[in-house]
Every structure is written in structure tokens, then in C-alpha cells.
Amino acid sequence: MSDTPAGSLYVVATPIGNLDDLSPRAARVLGEVALIAAEDTRHSGRLLRHLGLSRPMLSLHEHNEASRVDALDARLMAGEDVALVSDAGTPLISDPGFVLVRELRARGRRIIPLPGPCALVAALSAAGLPTDRFLFQGFLPAKGGTRRARLERLAGREETLVFYESPHRVRDTLADLASVLGERRVVLARELTKAFETFLDGTPAGLIARMEEDPDQARGEFVVMVAGAPARGEAEQSAVEADELLLALLSEGVGVKQAAAVAARVLGGVKKVWYARAQALKDGH
């Protein structure tokens, strides 16, 4: 058995847009390791050229990750250090690397994180939504029905909800947020750290209108942050106040449809939900 100490796997966060965000420690490690396991070797190759580095690379992505474990473990056991990078940000955060890290840790290998850029954290730090508790869900399902079902399961969560979204699905996601969560506050972080970085803040319907007015606002990669549901006590109080408003309107002869429209405008939420509640109150339920 070899007496050579095993090498380490460095999990290296790389820039999400601005190359100046790479830490000096990360640049040093990338220049010293024997091998870089990269989600896309061509993409990471551009970063290395920017740094004036040339290191051997091996592709590691969602389709081949499991098959790479033994080969990379052999390199570590031979005493070589390996760096793991994704295309942008911190590996494993909606990026490849989980299978590799899990298996190598189970084998007792040393895993060293090099913290740095992460779109999730960067977006939350500037959104103005509560950050003491948040629930990160990565990318929502691509199909509308499955996506709405996921949102319905999350509707009652009180934490800030955070998703990643692509430009070709962001409008559909906002439409589903409007359908399921109504007037809940949403903050979109677009093109973080890049030249056209933008934060858009409003209701889902309002943000869709912004994109229709300016299609450029639908371009780029997005972090979607949604205000959590009101605390249970607040929600119960709000329900009482809403019923009082609807009953007052109905007692003045306002129709169910009109009462629902007023409630949606004053209190927020989806008009059809208010319609159902107003009809129930009118029927004495």
C-alpha cells in the first residue's frame, strides 16, 4: 500500500458573471491542482485563459458524474489534488457535484470548500425580502401543471421562497405565481454581476406587464424570490377582516362579482378566490 498522502478535492466557487469576483485563493488553487473537473471544459477553459493558467481538465456533468467517481478517487489516492468547478457560481447548488462529493466523503477523502460567488446568496442580499429564513427550490418543473402543483404545495410556507429560472420560462413561471399566490410580492434578480444587472420588484402580474413593455427585461438568467406566506396568526386576522369587508359590501347591495373585485383590489389576492368566498358568505356558509 502506498505511503503517499491522499490528495484533496477542492470545491471551487467561480464567477457568475464578473470575472473579478474570483477570489485570490480560488485562482491560486486552480493554478496548483493536478486536475480540474469542470461542468463544461470549454467554458472553464475561458476562465483559465483569463487567469493565464493552463491545467488538465476533465468534464464532469449530470450525465457522466457517477462514472467519474472512481477515476477521480484514484487521482486523489495517488496524492494529487483535484478542483471541482461548475460553469458559474458554487458547485452543487443547482449544479453537478453532489454525487462526487457524497461518494468521496463516504470513502473518507478530504473535501475542501472554497467559498465565493453564488447567485442565490447574491440575490437575497440585495432583494429586500426577509433572509432570516428562506427555502431554496432550485429550478421549478418545466411543465406548467407540475410547476403549479409544486407552487401550491409551497403556498403556505412562511419563509422567503427562492427559485432559479431561465429566460424562456420566466413569464410562464410568473403567470403561475399569479394564479397560485395572487398578489404576493416577487423580486426578480436578472443578470447578476453582469453589465445589465437588474432587480425588478412587484406583483407577478405587474412584472409580466413590465416584460411586455420592455422585452429586454425577460432576457438573461433569473433568481426569483417570493415573499413568504403571512404568519398563521396574521393570516387568521386577515381572513376575519376580509370577511368583514365582503359582508359589508354584500349588505349594501353590492353584487358578489363586484365585491370580489373590490376585495382583490384592496386586499390583494386572486379575484376568483374572493368570488368563491363572497358567494359562500352570501349563501350563509
The CATH number linked to 159 is: 3.30.950.10
Residue closest to 174 by CA, chosen among 205, 197, 135, 134 = 205
pLDDT digits (tens, 9 = 90+) for 3-59: 789 999 999 999 999 999 999 999 999 999 999 999 999 999 999 999 999 999 999
The label of the residue with cell 427555502 reads: 135
Q: Are both 46 and 77 inside the same structural domain?
A: yes
pLDDT of residue 1: 46
Give the pLDDT band (50/70/90) at residue 221. very high
Point out the domain boundary residue: 117, 149, 176: 117
Q: Are both 183 and 237 inside the same structural domain?
A: no
Dihedrals phi, psi of 51, to nearest 5 degrees = -85, -5
Q: How far apart are CA 127 and CA 134, in angstroms?
A: 12
Point out the domain boundary residue: 97, 117, 137: 117
Q: Are both 190 and 252 inside the same structural domain?
A: no
Q: What letter represents residue 240's amino acid?
A: V
Q: Are both 154 and 210 inside the same structural domain?
A: yes
Q: How far apart are CA 18 and CA 262, in angstroms?
A: 46
Give the pLDDT band (50/70/90) at residue 108. very high
Compute the chain's Rg from CA coordinates: 25
> In DSSP terms, which residues pair with 199 in a beta bridge?
189
The label of the residue with cell 476562465 reads: 47
Q: Are both 194 and 149 inside the same structural domain?
A: yes
DSSP character for 194?
Answer: S
pLDDT at 121 over 80: yes
Point out the domain boundary residue: 178, 201, 226: 226
160 and 227 in contact (C-beta within 8 Å)?
A: yes
Q: Are both 222 and 249 inside the same structural domain?
A: no
The label of the residue with cell 466557487 reads: 13
Provide the residue range defining the domain that includes 246.
232-282
pLDDT of residue 174: 97
- Judge whether 85 lies within some domain: yes
- Judge whether 2 lies within some domain: no
Question: Considering its fold, how many domains does the chain have in total?
Answer: 3
The CATH number linked to 38 is: 3.40.1010.10
The label of the residue with cell 493558467 reads: 53
Q: Are both 201 and 144 inside the same structural domain?
A: yes
Q: How far apart are CA 65 and CA 76, in angstroms?
A: 16
Residue closest to 139 by CA, chosen among 158, 165, 169 = 165
Q: Are both 137 and 185 inside the same structural domain?
A: yes
Mean pLDDT over 217-234 rounds to 89
Give the pLDDT band (50/70/90) at residue 238. low
CB neighbourhood size of 68 (10 A): 18
pLDDT at 222 over 60: yes
Phi-psi map region of 151: left, alpha, beta (phi>0 left; psi -120 to 50 alpha): alpha
Q: What is the pTM of this model?
A: 0.80
Mean residue pLDDT of the chain comes to 93
Nine-digit cell at 265? 383590489
Q: Are both 32 and 113 inside the same structural domain?
A: yes
pLDDT digits (tens, 9 = 90+) for 192-205: 999 999 999 999 99
CA angle at 106 for the pair 100 and 109, rounded to the nearest 5°: 75
pLDDT of residue 235: 53
- Judge whether 100 lies within some domain: yes
